[in-house]
DNA sequence: CTTTGGTTTAACTATTTAGTTTAAAACAAT
DNA sequence: ATTGTTTTAAACTAAATAGTTAAACCAAAG
């Protein structure tokens, strides 16, 4: 009986676009229906309510956004250098495919923390726990440990590990969050800005090396 | 006749909080009235419509957010090193006072670029112009020129100036945009995170020096 | 071809929300 | 006190929007 139906997927993608553009409060069910090319009643047929539809979308988006991030940050088998490279590379690529993701996630998390924190926790086990035997962010324990070791054995410059990690994340994510403003500032067209972001991966890696590694020799080459 | 009235200011601040929390679409006039401790009718007495109230708030916020940024970026009298220091210092301080600002601005800019680009341009003259005699972002021409000079005379390492400037902005702004998520990741309380951000200024300065200046010696000192 | 069950649609209802009206209270100046 | 103006509050209206219903549609099974 089941029509080989992608309708629910079409709806989900349409809803994602609209929610990302306008947020939960600003999104209209009618607009989502139009975007999906269906009737508004069908929307309620597939997803009981706006809230339900939103949660489905948001859950997926959190997963896409957070799972790779957290996975790489606390993978116990990566060296410090590879961890950084992998993080930057995988993150820029994820975000190039989903440019609207981070702003959307931050938006909703900020307007309704209570309702959504639990969703975050589903995908990032251990965010809440702060048990006595773990002195600090267990999420980042390995990463921070590697940086501390590097500072002790002289291979790393002095940094506050948390500030360093936050800087790494900032350099990757902010260009997407601040896209419209930065595009205005740099006077770049849509495609031009995409290229700019694609080139950004290696530039960030170079910066992070200059910050962290004592023996790193800044690359040379043709001036930009 | 005029009661020495702060009511319109109280309304404006209440509206700012609600708009920053929920965005234009998600904000409710009733909620703003409650937040200001007045009746909804008084809201319309002071500000004719939601749109009008929003524009007043948004205009001010863009000013607070952009004017110092742009001012420092293109001040013709600052040296490269002072420009960077001043930018980071003044920006972190501005944002500590208005933590919700950047997310709010990005949000609305993304959901309604057309309506707002013109507001941005009011405060940032020259954003639109791309005349033939200006080869690139005139907004950043001086800053970029200084970096190029530094690379030519050997005092600066090789960077893409635009990527470098974007990194500087990212490190300053993202910790505020991503606040809820980063707080979760670092497991910091509200006050703890504020302190963390206050310490961030000098850490960013150090990072930027390591990236850009050829002869910079990484500071030493007690491990974090 | 007709029954059956999921799917789609147009029209409808209920609720929320921006904005208005009106009248009373508060206030300032005389 | 008196008067005229500004401000406030409650109740109201109009519009927008989430959600429902019931009938039509359609594809597969009998």
* Closest residue by Cα to residue B170 from A204, A65, A210, A63: A204
Computed from CA positions of residues B79, B217, A202, B202, in that sequence, does the dihedral angle turn out positive or negative?
negative
Is residue B151 within 8 Å of residue B158, measured between CB atoms?
yes
Give the model's confidence band at B223: pLDDT under 50 very low, under 70 low, under 90 confident, else very high: low
Residue B42, nucleotide of least CA–C1' distance: D8
Checking B50-56 for CB contacts under 8 A at 24+ apart, the result is: B50/B24, B53/B11, B53/B12, B53/B15, B54/B15, B54/B19, B54/B24, B54/B27, B55/B119, B56/B12, B56/B15
Scanning every residue of chain B, which has its alpha carbon at the shortest distance from the alpha carbon of A187? Answer: B137
> What is the domain extent for residue B41?
1-48
DSSP letter, residue B38: S
Q: Is residue B191 part of a domain?
A: yes
Q: What CA–CA distance (Å, rounded) separates B109 from B116?
A: 6
Give how many domains chain B has, as a whole number: 2
Nearest CA to CA, how far is B19 from chain A (Å)?
Answer: 10
B139 CB-contact burial (10 Å; exposed 0-12 / middle 13-18 / buried 19+): buried
Residues A151 and A203 grouped into a single domain: yes
Which are the contacts of A15, defined by CB distance < 8 A and separation ≥ 6? Answer: A27, A32, A35, A36, A53, A54, A56, A57
Residues A175 and A139 grouped into a single domain: yes
Question: Which bases of strand D sit closer than 7 A to a protein CB?
Answer: 5-11, 17-22, 27-29
A117 CB-contact burial (10 Å; exposed 0-12 / middle 13-18 / buried 19+): middle
Instruction: Give the DSSP per-residue string, A150-175.
Output: HHHTTSB----HHHHHHHHHHHHHHH
Contact call for A111 and B163, based on CB within 8 A: no
Q: Is residue B224 part of a domain?
A: no
Residues B123 and B64 grouped into a single domain: yes
Give the model's confidence band at A102: pLDDT under 50 very low, under 70 low, under 90 confident, else very high: very high
Tell me phi and psi for residue A84, to 5 degrees.
Answer: -65, -50
In tens, the pLDDT along A174-213 reads: 999 999 999 999 999 999 999 999 999 999 999 999 999 9
Residues A63 and A174 grouped into a single domain: yes
Q: What CA–CA distance (Å, rounded) separates B194 from B206?
A: 20
Q: Is residue A203 part of a domain?
A: yes
Scanning every residue of chain A, which has its alpha carbon at the shortest distance from the alpha carbon of B156? Answer: A218
In tens, the pLDDT along B106-159 reads: 999 988 877 667 777 777 776 665 555 555 557 899 999 999 999 999 999 999
152-181 of A, contacting B, C-beta below 8 A: 152, 157-164, 166-167, 169-171, 173-175, 177-181
ipTM: 0.91
Residues A110 and A65 grouped into a single domain: yes
In tens, the pLDDT along A134-163 reads: 555 578 999 999 999 999 999 999 999 999
The count of CB pairs under 8 A between chains A and B is 197
Q: What CA–CA distance (Å, rounded) separates B224 from B220?
A: 11
Residues A152 and A204 grouped into a single domain: yes
Contact call for B24 and A26, based on CB within 8 A: yes
Q: Is residue A155 part of a domain?
A: yes
Contact call for A166 and B148, based on CB within 8 A: no
| CATH number where B173 lies | 1.10.357.10
* Closest residue by Cα to residue B58 from B8, B5, B124, B115: B115
Tokens of B19: 């708009």
Residues B22 and B99 grouped into a single domain: no
Q: Is residue A221 part of a domain?
A: no
Q: Is residue A169 part of a domain?
A: yes
Residue B136: the pLDDT is: 54
In tens, the pLDDT along B25-44 reads: 999 999 999 999 998 999 99
DSSP letter, residue B47: S
Comparing CB atoms, the residue among B159, B178, B223 nearest residue A148 is: B223
Where in A5-141 does DSSP place strands (E)? Answer: none
A112 CB-contact burial (10 Å; exposed 0-12 / middle 13-18 / buried 19+): middle
In a mutational test of the B interface, the residue from A25, A67, A71, A106 whose CB has the highest number of chain B CBs within 10 Å is A106
In tens, the pLDDT along B53-83 reads: 999 999 999 999 999 899 999 999 999 999 9
Give the model's confidence band at A112: pLDDT under 50 very low, under 70 low, under 90 confident, else very high: confident
Q: How far is the CA of B72 from the C1' of C14 (A)?
A: 54
CB-CB neighbors (< 8 A) of B169 in chain A: 174, 178, 182
| Residue B25 sits at the chain A interface (C-beta within 8 Å) | yes
Residue at token pair 């962290």: A212
191-220 of A, contacting B, C-beta below 8 A: 196, 199-200, 203-204, 207, 210-211, 214, 218-220
51-80 of B, contacting A, C-beta below 8 A: none
């Amino acid at each position: 009986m089941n029509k080989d139906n992608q309708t629910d997927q079409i709806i989900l993608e349409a809803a994602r676009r609209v929610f990302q553009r306008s947020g939960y409060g600003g999104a209209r069910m009618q607009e989502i229906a139009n975007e999906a090319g269906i009737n508004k009643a069908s929307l309620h047929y597939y997803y009981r309510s706006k809230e339900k539809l939103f949660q489905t979308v948001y859950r997926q988006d959190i997963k896409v956004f957070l799972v790779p991030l957290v996975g790489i940050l606390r993978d116990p088998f990566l060296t410090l250098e590879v961890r950084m490279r992998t993080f930057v590379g995988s993150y820029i690529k994820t975000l190039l495919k989903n440019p609207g993701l981070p702003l959307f996630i931050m938006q909703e998390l900020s307007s309704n923390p209570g309702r959504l924190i639990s969703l975050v926790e589903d995908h990032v086990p251990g965010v809440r726990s702060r048990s006595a035997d773990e002195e600090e962010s267990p999420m980042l324990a390995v990463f921070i440990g590697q940086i501390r070791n590097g500072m002790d054995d002289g291979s790393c410059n002095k940094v506050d590990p948390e500030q360093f990690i936050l800087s790494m994340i900032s350099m990757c994510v902010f260009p997407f969050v601040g896209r419209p403003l930065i595009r205005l500032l740099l006077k770049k067209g849509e495609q031009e800005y995409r290229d700019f972001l694609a080139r950004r991966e290696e530039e960030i890696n170079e910066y992070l090396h200059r910050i962290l590694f004592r023996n790193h020799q800044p690359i040379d080459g043709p001036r930009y």
